[in-house]
Every structure is written in C-alpha cells, then in structure tokens.
Structure 1
Amino acid sequence: MPKIVDHTERRRELGEAVWRVIDRDGVAEVSIRTVAAESGWSSGALRHYFATRAELLAFACELVITKVTERIEAGPRTDVSAILRETMPLDPERRTEVSIMFSFLALGLGDPALARVQRTHFTAMYDLCRHLVPTEDERAARRLHALVDGLSVQVLAGHLTPAEADTELVAYLDELYG
C-alpha cells in the first residue's frame, strides 16, 4: 500500500526548518543542505519540494506572513494594540518571525523573487495599518506602519527591550486615538 503524503504539511515542515536555521545561524547559512539536515530529510527529497534556495526562502517568508495573518484573524478584532503586537518581536516566537521578515529586506535587493515576497509583506503590513487607523488617513497609516517597523528593528538591534517597544506602541496609539 503506498504511503499517503500530505505535501502541504511537508512544505510547512520545511519552511519551519528554514526558520530554525535562520534563528540559530542566520539567513546566510540557509541552504538546501542545511535545511535538509535540520529537517532530517535528504537534499534530494527536499529538492522535490523546492528546487532552489530562493524558492525555499520565499516559501519560508510567505509562511511567516500566513502564520501571522492567521493569528491576527483568530484574535480580538477590536484591540488595535493586540493586533499590532502580533507583528512585533515581543516574544521569542515573534522575534524569529520578524527576524525572518527583515532578512528579506536585504535579500530582496539582489533577487527579484525575494523582492516580490518582501513587497507582499510590506503591502500586507501597510494594509493592516490602514485598516487600523481611525480614519481613512493614508498618512496616519504610513506613520503607524513606520512606527511598528521602526520599533521592531530597534528591538532586533537591541536598542529597545520588548517592553519598551510595547510602551512606545501604546503611547502612540493613545495619541492616534485621542
């Protein structure tokens, strides 16, 4: 009897293996070989799902976008700060996700496929901010997006603690919402 394989779940497992490699060793260490070792697969089996490193990285980034979106949609829809916290590195899981997302900023400069994923991420984040501002004010949405990204970068760089970033987020939202 042939073994039934859930290809969607297998791809997800491989994407999560990419996350672990990035979290532990950095994005520069992601390769077909390192991800295969991390996942316990052979390089040949992994190539059945992803032919190139770029495909593997793009999928891992898209998987982060999907995971964060699912978390936001499952949470409270009226608490703006709770929604935005899901996108910021305020705990270990989100720190890994945000590290992956910002890794794509640099990678996208030299690779059009990865640049597409980065644009998707930025567009989704801007759309979320536009939806969360109290008016149809694009300028306020851009500021909110810049604030969330800026606070996230400062946490990743060690210039702010997660608690300090959260305090700044809440202070800005208090100003925004009056």
Structure 2
Amino acid sequence: MPKIVDHQKQKEKVAQAVWQVILKSGIDKATVRNIAEEANLSVSTMRHYFTNQSELLYFSMNLIIERMEARIQSRVQQFDGSPLEAAQKIVLFFIPQNKEEQIELQVWLAFHAKALSDAKMIELSDKMYSDVYRGMEWALHILKESNLLKQDLDMELEIDRLYGLVDGLAIHRILKPDLLPPEKIRAIVFHHLKELCTKQC
C-alpha cells in the first residue's frame, strides 16, 4: 500500500527548515539547496512543493502569521478577571512569551528586511502590522466600553502609542531576553494600561 503523504505537514516541515537556516546563517543563505539539506529532503522534492525561493519564503512568512492568529483564537477563550486584565492579555498576545514565539519573531524580522524588495512579502508585512494594530484597538476598546478610560484621551494617539510600546518590547525581548523576562513585560504593559484608566481600574 503506498505511503500517504500529508502535503501540508510536509510544507510546514520545509518552512521550519527555512526558519532554522535563517537563524543559523541569515536569510541570504536561505537557498533552496540549503533548506533542502536542513529539511533532509532532495531538491527535486522541494521543487514539488515550491517552484522557487520567493514562493517558499512567502509560505514560510505566512505560516508565522497563521500561527500567531491561531494562538490568539485559542487564548481568547481563556479571558477572565477584570477588563484591565483582559486588555493586558490581548496586548501580551503580540509579545513573545516563550522560546518558540521568540524564534518566530526573530525569523519574522529577517523576513521583514527581505520584504522591502518583494511586493508579495510587503503584503504579508502589512497584514502583520494590521493584525497588531487591531489588537491594540481591541484592548483599548475593552477599557473604553467598560467606562474605565480617562475621558480626555485621544484614542487614535493612544492606539499608536500602545503599538509603539508593544513593537519595542517585542524587539527587545529578542535582543535582550534576560533584561526583559515575561514577568517584567507583563508589569510594563499593565502599568501603561493602568495609566490610561480612571481611578476605578
């Protein structure tokens, strides 16, 4: 009986090999030959799934977005506590909390540099920006709908500020993980959100 191959899992295996090559040697070394070697596959098998390097990198980049969105969907069911705690959890979705998420973000940053010269990858980069921005909107609207935000706040400005804070924390979580452990990040985010609230928070 012929062996049944799960093509989606095989493509994800290749994508993870892309990530490993990028982590070890940089995105410039993410050639089809190097990735095939990392995935323990022949170049011809690789060609069966991806016709060129651009298609392969696009799939690998998109897989990171899909994993992030899947985590959000699973964690959104776990909300409990106050509106402030719920808002904090949403914000923390977008900051790496463990080694796997750190690896994904590290690879994403390499992809982002590549995206500057690839129109299709720019689309994915823009999608990631939109997902994070909507997350910041979501967090602040939870506080607003609970009548906890200060009345004189400029919502658009505060969403931008929160986005900037999250972006900086996420990058520094990669660059200086020992200086920004998860508990410290949680405290920073909680403090920032609390400053936006009335005394009822």
- Shorter-chain TM band: 0.7 to 0.9
Please name the residue that 1:147 is paired with: 165
Distance 2:118 2:181 in 1: 31
Distance 1:126 1:139 in 2: 12
The CA deviation string for residues 40-63 of structure 1, in whole angstroms up to 9 with x for no partner, is 111111111112222211111111
Mean CA deviation greater in 118-127 or 97-106: 97-106
Gaps of 5+ in 2: 81-85, 146-154
Q: 1:44 to 1:148 in 2, by over 3 A?
A: same
Aligned-partner residue type, residue 116 of structure 2: L
Q: 1:176 to 1:97 in 2, by over 3 A?
A: farther
Mean CA deviation greater in 37-46 or 155-164: 155-164
Question: Secondary structure, in 3 states, of the residue corresponding to 2:49?
Answer: coil
Aligned-partner residue type, residue 96 of structure 2: P
User: Is the CA contact (8 Å cut-off) linking 2:14 and 2:39 kept in structure 1?
Assistant: yes
The CA deviation string for residues 16-38 of structure 1, in whole angstroms up to 9 with x for no partner, is 22222223333232121121111
User: Is the CA contact (8 Å cut-off) linking 1:22 and 1:30 kept in structure 2?
Assistant: yes
Please name the residue that 1:50 is paired with: 50
Map residues 1-178 of structure 1 onto 2, 5 A cutoff: 1-75=1-75, 76-77=78-79, 79-134=86-141, 135=144, 137-158=155-176, 160-163=179-182, 164-178=184-198
Distance 1:73 1:41 in 2: 33
Please, what is the CA RMSD of the aligned residues?
A: 2.2
Gaps of 5+ in 1: none
Aligned-partner residue type, residue 141 of structure 1: I
Choose between structure 1 and 2 for higher RCO, CA contacts under 8 A separated by at least 6 residues: 2
Question: Secondary structure, in 3 states, of the residue corresponding to 1:48?
Answer: helix
Identity of aligned residues (%): 29
Larger radius of gyration: 2
User: Is the CA contact (8 Å cut-off) linking 2:65 and 2:128 kept in structure 1?
Assistant: yes
Aligned-partner residue type, residue 66 of structure 1: E
How many residue pairs get aligned? The number is 178
Distance 2:156 2:197 in 1: 15
TM-score of the aligned structures, taking structure 1 as reference length: 0.87
Question: Cα distance, 1:154 vs. partner?
Answer: 2.1
